[in-house]
Amino acid sequence: MPRGTVVRLDRQALRLDGGAVLVGGAPPRMMHLAPAAARLVGADGTTTVDGPTSAALVRKLLDAGIAHPVEVPVGAVPVADEVTVVVPVRDRVDGLRRLLAALDGMRVLVVDDGSADPGAIGAVAAEVGASVLRHGRSRGPAAARNTGLAAATSPLVAFLDSDVVPEPGWLDPLLAAFADPAVGLAAPRIVALAPVRGWLGRYEALRSSLDLGPDPALVVPRSRVAYVPSAAMVVRRDAAGAGFDEGMHVAEDVDLVLRLHTAGWRLRYEPSSRVAHDHRTRPAQWWLRKAYYGTGAAPLALRHHGAVPPMVLSPSGAAIAGLVVLARPWSLLAAAVVGAGATERLARRLERLGSPRRTAARLVGSGALGTVAQTADAVTRHYWPVSVVAALLSRRVRRRVLAIAVVEGVVDWWRHRDPQRRAELDPVRFVLARRLDDLGYGAGLWWGAWRHRTVQPLRPVGSGASGRSERSARPGTNGRGSPRPARRVSPNS
């Protein structure tokens, strides 16, 4: 990392034992810092690269997803002239005009993917001096992006769909991410294009699957930000290779993310960059799009085993969640016993800490809440056909499923409500939209699984299936001395 780079600990990262232990990241882990390394992390959670030792520590924090860049030296940041914008389009003339107006002065390649009126596409591109490449027949968005990628000669390529509009200043945070030579892709936050209309439009403004939230993140499979959409992203050309898989007409962006991650590139989500998306809000189109997204899970699961599971569970986490969902006095007592056992086991692994049991209880409690949330989501989303059948056969199950559907929806509304009241939606309509969203995605998920004759996208995985260890940097060793090993900490402990 260039000298002068400043990183800050993730908002959800925990500092334990006087700052000697950090818990967090993607996937969650526990990192033990040597005393001198711990002193490099300030009281405000920031660390500045000012030499080999701090550079090694910052590298570890960034690669673990425990910290994120907040300041990068200007001289290390690529400039806009090093970016080519590739816009795949088919027939969406008005959207293309709106997008190109926001890209004034940038190098743009418009790839016309078999539009019915290529002259109209060419005329709109000519208004701003954008180059046009054309497919004689539609080959799909992946092929259109690849055509632009192959024609671009700049070191960075931005992909923007014709139904988005970048907000002012959108490019700068993404370029700053590439000051890190390990970063192969950076993506902005996708927000709703104003004006927001209708109750489904307000729901999408609050809960769109394209909007990955307000917090920066390392993009890692099976983490809080496990993918980024190709509606807007910037890639390092050397990392992208041949680009998207043209055989995939859905989830090709997730496939690219997973391949880049496997190749060792770091992928960053930068929500300070914002790109507005013209969400579908007509009920039929909106619901079919949700189902379409769900069909992508099966081909992804077959290509990337264990990377896109419906649930990530530890044995104790699964037991706690199942017992809590039963909601009987004996089951709640049993869940407490399982939690106490998990706490004691984890405390024995944390004996070096000052308060191992208190820390273990905190981690196990947080993990249990996360597992219960996963389970509630799975009941109404990934496994809703099973839930419906069970509810038809049992009055008790029917009451449980209804309670989960209502409670999970209200909690989700509370978490995603807009305090600034730019897109207000009452809890009743939010919960209705949320459940319709789940029904659509789940229907697509099961259809895709049946079509590909596989149960892979329906199989939960264990929380320890794909962990990797990290090591702390010792001063004077450039991170290669005798560092203390980090330990994976399951969020479902």
pLDDT tens digit sequence for 58-79: 999 999 999 999 999 999 999 9
pLDDT, residue 469, reads 36
Indicate whether 225 belongs to any domain: yes
Indicate whether 15 belongs to any domain: yes
Indicate whether 410 belongs to any domain: no
Indicate whether 250 belongs to any domain: yes
Among 76-85, 180-189, 364-373, 426-435, where is mean pLDDT lowest? 364-373
Q: What percent of the chain has a predicted confidence (pLDDT) above 70? A: 93
Assess whether pLDDT exceeds 80 at residue 448: yes
Last residue of one domain, picked from the residues 381, 416, 439: 381
Assess whether pLDDT exceeds 80 at residue 376: yes
Q: Are residues 68 and 100 in the same domain?
A: no
Measured CA distances, 328 to 12, 111, 311, 333, 492 (Å) = 32, 59, 24, 9, 22
Last residue of one domain, picked from the residues 354, 381, 408: 381
Assess whether pLDDT exceeds 50 at residue 311: yes
Indicate whether 360 belongs to any domain: yes
Between 408 and 465, the more confident residue is 408
d(CA 190, CA 392): 39
Indicate whether 465 belongs to any domain: no
Sheet with 67-71: list strands edge to edge.
Answer: 46-48, 6-9, 67-71
Report the CATH number that the domain containing residue 216 is assigned in CATH. Answer: 3.90.550.10
- Full residue range of the structural domain in which residue 56 is found: 6-72+473-488
pLDDT, residue 28, reads 85
Q: Are residues 107 and 227 in the same domain?
A: yes
Nearest Cα residue to 235 out of 191, 275, 177: 177
Assess whether pLDDT exceeds 50 at residue 484: no
Q: Which amino acid is at 218?
A: L
Q: Are residues 263 and 376 in the same domain?
A: no
Indicate whether 399 belongs to any domain: no
Nearest Cα residue to 473 out of 8, 22, 72, 24: 22
Q: Which amino acid is at 300?
A: L
d(CA 399, CA 337): 26
Indicate whether 403 belongs to any domain: no
Q: Are residues 224 and 359 in the same domain?
A: no
Give strand pairing partners of 7: 47, 69
Among 119-133, 311-325, 406-420, 422-436, where is mean pLDDT lowest? 311-325
Q: Are residues 160 and 88 in the same domain?
A: yes
Last residue of one domain, picked from the residues 363, 381, 399: 381
CA dihedral sign, ordered 149, 74, 38, 477: positive
Nearest Cα residue to 306 out of 421, 79, 460: 460
Q: Which amino acid is at 68?
A: H
Among 193-197, 198-202, 436-440, 486-490, where is mean pLDDT lowest? 486-490
Among 44-53, 65-74, 205-214, 463-472, where is mean pLDDT lowest? 463-472
Nearest Cα residue to 212 out of 232, 198, 196: 232
Model pLDDT for residues 152-171, shown as the tens digit of each residue: 999 999 999 999 999 999 99
The total domain count for the chain is 3
Res. 489 pLDDT band, cuts 50 70 90: very low
DSSP state of 249: S
Model pLDDT for residues 316-371, shown as the tens digit of each residue: 888 888 888 787 889 889 989 998 999 999 888 888 777 888 888 888 888 888 88
Give strand pairing partners of 458: none
Q: Are residues 253 and 106 in the same domain?
A: yes
SS3 of residue 108 by DSSP:
strand
pLDDT, residue 326, reads 80
Q: What percent of the chain has a predicted confidence (pLDDT) above 90? A: 74
Q: Are residues 208 and 116 in the same domain?
A: yes
Q: Are residues 31 and 89 in the same domain?
A: no
Measured CA distances, 24 to 9, 64, 373 (Å) = 9, 8, 18
Residue 329 backbone phi and psi in degrees, to 5:
-55, -45
Q: Are residues 53 and 105 in the same domain?
A: no
Model pLDDT for residues 256-299, shown as the tens digit of each residue: 999 999 999 999 999 999 999 999 999 999 999 999 999 999 99
Q: Are residues 234 and 183 in the same domain?
A: yes
Q: Are residues 122 and 233 in the same domain?
A: yes
Q: Are residues 65 and 122 in the same domain?
A: no
